[in-house]
Structure formats: structure tokens, C-alpha cells
Amino acid sequence: MSNGIKFWKVLPENSLKEITKAKINLESRIEGWLEEDISVISSDLLVIGRQVRTSFGAIDILCIDRYGDIVIVELKRDRTLKDVIIQILNYGFWVKDLSNERVAEIAKRHLGGSGPLEEVFRGRFGTDLPEVLNDGHELLIVAPEIDSSSRRIIEYLSSYYGARINAVTFNYFRDQDSNEFLARVFLIEPSKVESRSQMRTSSKKKRRSSYEELQELAERKGVGELYRQLLEGLTDCFDERSNEITSVAFLGIIGESRPTIFSLMPGESDTKLGVRFYVYIDRLSEYLGASKKAITEILPSKLEKYEHRRDLPPRSAGYFKDANKVRRFLSDLHRLHG
């Protein structure tokens, strides 16, 4: 627990000198540090809003993590911790129903000239913004210290109900030369909070399908062999592939990012129509160094525009109907890939 933290300086003669814990107006300084750099709490967060107005007040800091989940950060300030717990639970109730569009709208107001959420997210995490945002949310209280009663409440909500709620405290130290040191301590190990949450929600939350399960899905849809050929051929043409709930995404390195470029959708495939796919033509053109016209010429002729989210570039959708077209497409794709 945070009250038991001690801090020593290792001296040149290999002896230790204890650095004493100091008392300052830590709450105001913590707020300033978080304003400057949210990684003081976690390197896995991107701030998308500050003082976000809700029906229950204003959320101090609203973040999104690399999985697209929302993280509410609430500072204690001059309130009691029990008041803060009640407040952050109200915020969680408000956040749980935020749509993709609403999250993007909040982020746009905060990010301003930094760019749309998709671009800022890719720059922060090196991957595409997930297609489903706010599939879950986390509540994080920040305070100089946590009293025993509040600790019990947070532990109970986490352990018994699987709520993704936690608290982080900071200990401040200063040595005789006025050097300052800050130690961060989570009330509950973050991995334990996540594990408890997953155990409680495993029956409700969708999980990624294995490649074997996706192959079986394609076979049930009557396109098993076509899907297998496309999966193997596309894997050789891209830097990475990722299995999702009902699809396989193929990613490629473009500059400093690794966006999704092509997707196979066995769940949306059909015996008569063929294997369903989605493609970002602009991204594929940039990835291969080929013109968009050249890309379009090697794809099936009947493509449809599919603007699935306003904050992402449009993608095209279509079907591969027979083995000859699949072989010709893969051959042309390998040729352009070089």
C-alpha cells in the first residue's frame, strides 16, 4: 500500500540514504502534471477530452486506450473520496452509452488542430483506431492518498462485481539538495482489475475467433476453399494479419503506422455471391506504390463504396466468386507487391 512506500538514494560508497517523504499541496501539482503528460498514469492512454460536460457534472479527463475503450480519470481535489467515488460511478453510467460518433465528436473538440481522432490515435499507438469504440470503460480516481473506507469500497466493486475501477496515489519525496521525486502506486494492480472484469463479463463480451473457427465459418457459408486460398495468398502480401470476431484483417506498414488495408469477412460470405472482402484502395495504393487505377483493375469489377464510419476513410467492398478470379487476383497482387 502507498503508506508503506520508502525511498532511498544509493550513495557512491554503496551505502543507502533514506529520502524523506515531504508534504506539499500535492493535489494541485498532480493536476498540472496530468495536464502536461497523461503517461504519469499510464503510457497506454490518449486524452480525448478535459472537463467534458455530462448530466452529472464535468469529467476531469476523458481518455481512450489502444483497444478503443474509454477511461475516465477523476481527481480528488477538495472533495471527500466517497464523494469522488459516487461522482465517477455517475460518469460511468453516462459514458457507457456513448456511440462511436459521440466519442469522435468529443475528441474533435479537444484535439482541434492536432487532427482527427483516427490520425492522432494512429500516431499515438501505431495502429488503426478500432472499428468498435467504447466496448467497455474504466474508472480511475487520482488522489494523494486513499483512506481505508474508500479502499474497501473500490476493492469490493472490483472483486465482487468485476467493475473496472481503480485508484492511483502519488508519494512525493525531496532530498536535502531539494531534488524532487514522485512515486506512483495503484491501489489494485491494473492487470488484476482487467482480469476480474473479464471473468465477470466473459459470458457477455464477444471474443476474437481463432483462425480455425473462421475457416469453419467460411465452410458453413459454402466458401471454405476460396477463403483458404485468399487467406494464404494475402498473408504473403502483407506485413501482419489479425483475427477478429468474424473477420481477418491484413495490415501493412505505411510510414510510421500499421493500418488495416484488406479484410476477409467469412461471416458475411455466401455460397452464391462468394467470399466477402473490404479494401482501403487509397491505403493499398500507397502500400504497394501502385496507382489507384492499377489497384482497381485487379479487384473484382462490382465494387461498392462502404463508408462505415465518418472518422475513417471510405473503403470498398465486394466478393470473390470463383477460384480462377482468386488466382488471377493473387497473382496480380504479388506482381504489384514486387
What is the CATH T-level fold of the domain 211-337, as seen in this structure?
Answer: Aspartate Aminotransferase, domain 1 (3.90.1150)
**pLDDT the model gives residue 201:** 58
Handedness of CA 112, 113, 114, 118 (dihedral sign): positive
- Strand ranges inside the chain, DSSP E: 7-10, 16-19, 45-54, 57-65, 70-75, 137-143, 165-174, 180-186, 240-243, 248-251, 260-270, 274-279, 304-306, 315-320
Cα gap 317→305, rounded to integer Å: 6
Place of cell 494464404: 232
> At 281, which helix (H) or strand (E)?
helix 281-288
Assigned CATH class of 2-201: alpha beta
Place of cell 459516487: 86
**pLDDT the model gives residue 158:** 92
Q: Which three cell numbers stand for residue 153?
A: 469500497
**pLDDT the model gives residue 267:** 87
Torsion (CA) 9, 11, 16, 22 in degrees, nearest 10: -30
Pairing relationship of beta strands 165-174 and 137-143 according to DSSP bridges: parallel
With a cut of 70, list the residues of the chain below it in pLDDT.
Answer: 1-4, 22-27, 198-208, 306-313
* Sequence-ordered list of residues with C-beta below 8 angstroms from that of 129, at least 6 positions apart, any chain: 68, 117, 118, 121, 122, 311, 312
Domains of the chain, by residue range, sit at 2-201, 211-337
* Sequence-ordered list of residues with C-beta below 8 angstroms from that of 235, at least 6 positions apart, any chain: 241, 250
Per DSSP, 21 falls in state B
Pairing relationship of beta strands 180-186 and 248-251 according to DSSP bridges: unpaired
**pLDDT the model gives residue 200:** 64
**pLDDT the model gives residue 218:** 93
Q: What DSSP letter does each residue of 194-262 carry, written as one string?
A: HHHHHHHHTTTS--PPPHHHHHHHHHHTT-HHHHHHHHHHHHTTSSEEEE-SS-EEEE--BTTB--EEE
